[in-house]
């Protein structure tokens, strides 16, 4: 599927090339001044400069070349080399017809599809998530939907944190509560029971208890550290416990992620690559990259050109244990060796505050040759802040559990829906379903609409509002189109051939035409807000169209059918775009 922007760009590029200039000068974009033009091309000035020619002449020549295309209604060079372009009604009508019929609602697949791993979510077993984990889930899931939509082969991996001190806390605290459990009997040779000895509630209690004690009691902390060392050294009872802890956590996490429409292909964790670590360390040694330092084994990754301090990667700590660096390196090795097809890229959707960690890991991975340079990407994001401008905390001052966040959003959505006029025959189940969809739309859109790297303030009241630039607003916009089409259908009025003529119709099709470019831009920059902008702009163009022209009430049957078809195309694309953002639209609300 092509687009008007793309066709015009190709035409303008050909015109530049015909004059011996580079094709990229022909880039066409939507005009900033819709009253003057639909599209513009600003390349003539730069092209003329580098060719030592007159920009006005180049602009006029390109405009003349464009006029030869039937889709071009007018093309005028203005000022020192801007080209203003209007497209014909027929071209807009054809474009809208294509979008309506296209399974991808007018999107173009990426020309450079990749096999990509997206590592996101990253919850830690037993530790409650902080809002940063919410961002990772929402941004990561949107990227996986976006990349798949555009033809990439994507595998998502939640990469559980299941290898750190928290596992030692859990093991030792459980021992203090129930020392007789078979898992602590070192003479026992297995097999261990299949039924977990703990519930998710137990984990939620054991971890904070141990961590609080360890804070003021170095001996208590040491016990947890020893337990981690024993676990990492392969103590069978501890490994069996670890497996139970992971299973219990994952079951609970799946529920909470599912609420937000977030899913993963793989639920692997740091502990899954434990067996690869000796071989990995050997690789670093053989390559002459590993160095002993105060009993630890490190890899220098600093470069001459570094402006900031770049500490070494820690392969083994002085206790012989492994941490976050090593497990991330081993995971890269695991993915490259065992995934089919072999990944070409790995994206890590993780808090910007971990930028240094990823820079260190990426450099070490490239040095030892696990993957080609430039194919590991840290997709960082800013924090979610409270009204005080600091990372968001609960009223009690603690980190927020995803389950609690979901529940808060759900309640707020119910409150907002209670104030709205829902259809009278809506039963409790449908109502609850709509409330969930509103909550998800609210949380996801509020996050995704920001430039990924900036911070934003958590404000549930605003996020769940049906007015303004919010998820619920967009959802409601789509629901309204659905009901408009349903009512028309009931009156025997269906969509028909599209014939664009009125300004509001033209503007609407121009908005629709930008879908492909928005998707590709969002993919290239790994920036979901670009798609959010498109979807919001489309819904605004629809609302202008709806305000300016009768649709179902249009007296002329051909016009009425055309406008109903336009509305159908908008709904089609709006739903496709929202689905990529993880927002589903109910039939009614
Ligand atoms: N578990 C980590 C955290 O809570 C995030 C993991 C991110 N992914 C990775 N491959 N390091 O901070």
The domains found in the chain, sorted by start residue, are 4-87 (3.30.1360.70), 164-263 (no CATH)
Angular region, 111: left φ>0, alpha ψ -120 to 50, beta rest: alpha
Higher confidence at residue 301 or residue 320? Answer: 301
Interval between CA 354 and ligand 1 midpoint (Å): 9
- C-alpha 159 to ligand 1 mean position (Å): 7
Mean pLDDT across 173-183: 96
3-state helix, strand, coil in the chain (%, to 5): 55, 10, 35
Per-residue pLDDT of 544-573, as tens digits, reads: 999 999 999 999 999 999 999 999 999 999
pLDDT of residue 204: 87
Question: pLDDT confidence of 503, banded at 50, 70, 90?
Answer: very high
Could you give the CA distance from residue 107 to residue 149 in angstroms, rounded to a whole number? 9
How close are the terminal C-alpha atoms of the chain, in Å?
33
Q: What is the pLDDT of residue 392?
A: 85
Asked whether the beta carbons of 367 and 299 are under 8 A apart, the reply is: yes
Point out the ligand 1 atom lying closest to the alpha carbon of residue 270.
Answer: 10
Strand partners, 118: 156, 347
Q: Quick check: 399 pLDDT over 80?
A: no
Cα 34 to ligand 1 centroid, rounded to whole Å: 46
Strand order in the sheet with 345-349: 153-157, 115-119, 345-349, 376-379
Give residue 172's pLDDT: 97
Quote the pLDDT of residue 129: 78
Mutate to test the pocket of ligand 1, among 161, 345, 348 (most ligand atoms within 8 A of CB): 161
Confidence of residue 80 (pLDDT cuts 50, 70, 90): confident
| Residue 176, pLDDT above cutoff 90 | yes
- pLDDT at residue number 322: 87
pLDDT digits (tens, 9 = 90+) for 326-365: 999 999 999 999 999 999 999 999 999 999 999 999 999 9
Model confidence band, residue 450 (pLDDT cutoffs 50, 70, 90): very high
Residue 138, φ and ψ in degrees, nearest 5: -70, -45
Give the residue-averaged pLDDT of 5-13.
Answer: 97
Q: Which DSSP string corresponds to 238-261? A: HHHHHHHHHHHHHHHHHHHHHHTT
Atom of ligand 1 nearest to the CA of 127: 4
515: confidence class by pLDDT, cuts 50, 70, 90: very high
What does the pLDDT average to over 102-106? 97
- CA distance to 275, 301, 325, 363, 461, per residue, from 306 (Å): 34, 10, 20, 12, 44
pLDDT at 583: 98
Q: What is the pLDDT of residue 286?
A: 97
Atom of ligand 1 nearest to the CA of 361: 11
DSSP strand pairing (384-385 vs 290-293): unpaired
Please say if the pLDDT value at position 312 is more than 90. yes
Tens digit of each residue's pLDDT (9 = 90 or more) over 226-251: 999 999 888 999 999 999 999 999 99
Query: Model confidence over 457-477: pLDDT tens digits?
Result: 999 999 999 999 999 999 999
What pLDDT, on the 0 to 100 scale, is given for residue 465? 96
pLDDT of residue 389: 86
Cα 328 to averaged position of ligand 1 atoms, centre (Å): 9
Nearest CA residue ID for atom 7, ligand 1: 122
The confidence band for 130, taking pLDDT boundaries of 50, 70 and 90, is confident
Choose one of 120, 140, 354, 377 to mutate for the ligand 1 pocket test, by most ligand atoms within 8 angstroms of C-beta: 354
Which tokens go with 581? 């953002």
Q: List the single range of 114-118, 261-265, 271-275, 389-393 with lowest mean pLDDT.
A: 389-393
Q: Which residues does a 6 A CB cutoff place in the pocket of ligand 1?
A: 119, 122, 124, 159, 161, 328, 348, 350
Res 285: pLDDT: 97
Evaluate if residue 402 carries a pLDDT over 90: no
Structure confidence at residue 396 as a pLDDT band (50, 70, 90)? confident
Q: By the 8 A CB rule, do 81 and 40 touch?
A: no
Beta bridge mates, 345: 116
Residue 390: pLDDT band by 50, 70, 90 thresholds? confident
Of residues 589, 267, 263, the one with CA closest to residue 435: 589
Average pLDDT over residues 63-75: 97
Cα–Cα dist 520/531, whole Å: 9
Q: What is the pLDDT of residue 412?
A: 96
Give me the pLDDT at residue 495, please.
97
pLDDT digits (tens, 9 = 90+) for 54-63: 999 999 999 9
Site to probe by mutation for ligand 1, drawn from 120, 122, 266 as the one with most ligand atoms within 8 Å of Cβ, is 122
Does 291 score more than 90 pLDDT? yes
- Find the angle CA(400)-CA(160)-CA(202) to the nearest 5 degrees: 60
Mean pLDDT of 435-451: 98
Q: Report the alpha-carbon distance of residue 193 to residue 241 in Å, rounded.
A: 10
Q: Report whether pLDDT(128) > 80.
A: no
Predicted local confidence at residue 225, as pLDDT: 93
């Amino acid at each position: 599927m092509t687009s008007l922007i793309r066709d015009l760009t190709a035409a303008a590029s050909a015109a530049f090339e015909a004059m011996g200039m580079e094709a990229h000068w022909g880039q066409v974009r939507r005009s900033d001044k819709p009253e003057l033009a639909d599209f513009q091309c600003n390349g003539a000035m730069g092209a003329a400069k580098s060719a030592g020619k007159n920009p006005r002449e180049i602009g006029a020549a390109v405009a003349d070349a464009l006029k030869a295309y039937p889709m071009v209604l007018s093309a005028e060079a203005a000022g020192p080399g801007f080209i203003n372009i209007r497209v014909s009604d027929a071209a807009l009508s054809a474009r809208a017809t294509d979008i309506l019929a296209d399974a991808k609602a007018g999107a173009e697949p990426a020309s450079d599809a990749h096999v990509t791993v997206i590592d996101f979510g990253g919850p830690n077993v037993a530790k409650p998530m902080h809002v940063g984990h919410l961002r990772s889930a929402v941004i990561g899931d949107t990227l996986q939907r976006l990349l798949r939509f555009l033809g990439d082969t994507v595998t998502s991996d939640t990469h559980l944190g299941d290898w750190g001190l928290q596992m030692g806390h859990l093991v030792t605290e459980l021992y203090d509560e129930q020392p007789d459990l078979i898992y602590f009997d070192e003479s026992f040779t297995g097999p261990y029971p299949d039924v977990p000895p703990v519930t998710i509630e137990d984990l939620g209690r054991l971890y904070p208890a141990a961590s609080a004690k360890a804070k003021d009691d170095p001996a208590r902390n040491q016990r947890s550290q020893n337990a981690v060392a024993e676990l990492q050294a392969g103590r069978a009872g501890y490994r069996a416990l670890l497996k139970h802890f992971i299973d219990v956590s994952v079951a609970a996490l799946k529920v909470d992620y599912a609420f937000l429409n977030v899913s993963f292909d793989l639920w692997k964790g740091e502990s899954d690559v434990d067996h690869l670590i000796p071989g990995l360390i050997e690789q670093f040694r053989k390559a002459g990259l590993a160095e002993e330092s105060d009993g630890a084994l490190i890899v220098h990754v600093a470069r001459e050109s570094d402006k900031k301090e770049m500490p070494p990667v820690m392969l083994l700590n002085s206790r012989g244990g492994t941490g976050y660096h090593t497990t991330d390196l081993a995971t890269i090795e695991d993915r490259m060796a065992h995934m089919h097809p072999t990944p070409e890229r790995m994206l890590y959707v993780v808090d910007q505050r971990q930028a240094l960690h990823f820079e260190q890991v990426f450099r070490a991975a490239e040095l030892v040759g696990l993957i080609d340079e430039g194919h590991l990407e840290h997709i960082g994001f800013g924090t979610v802040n409270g009204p005080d401008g600091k990372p968001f905390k609960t009223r009690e001052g603690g980190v927020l559990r995803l389950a609690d966040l979901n529940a808060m959003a759900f309640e707020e959505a119910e409150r907002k829906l209670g104030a709205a006029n829902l259809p009278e025959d809506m039963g409790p189940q449908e109502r609850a379903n709509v409330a969930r969809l509103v909550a998800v739309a609210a949380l996801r859109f509020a996050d995704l609409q920001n430039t990924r790297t900036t911070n934003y303030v958590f404000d549930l009241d605003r996020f769940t509002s049906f007015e303004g630039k919010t998820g619920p607003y967009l959802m409601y916009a789509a629901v309204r189109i659905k009901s408009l089409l349903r009512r028309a259908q009931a009156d025997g009025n269906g969509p028909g051939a599209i014939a664009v003529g009125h300004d509001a119709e033209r503007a609407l099709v121009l908005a629709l035409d930008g879908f492909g470019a928005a998707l590709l831009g969002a993919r290239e920059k790994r920036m979901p807000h670009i798609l959010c902008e498109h979807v919001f702009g489309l819904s605004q163009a629809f609302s202008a169209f709806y305000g300016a022209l009768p649709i179902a009430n249009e007296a002329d049957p051909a016009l009425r059918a055309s406008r109903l078809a336009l509305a159908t195309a908008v709904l089609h694309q709006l739903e496709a775009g929202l689905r990529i953002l993880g927002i589903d639209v109910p039939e009614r609300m």
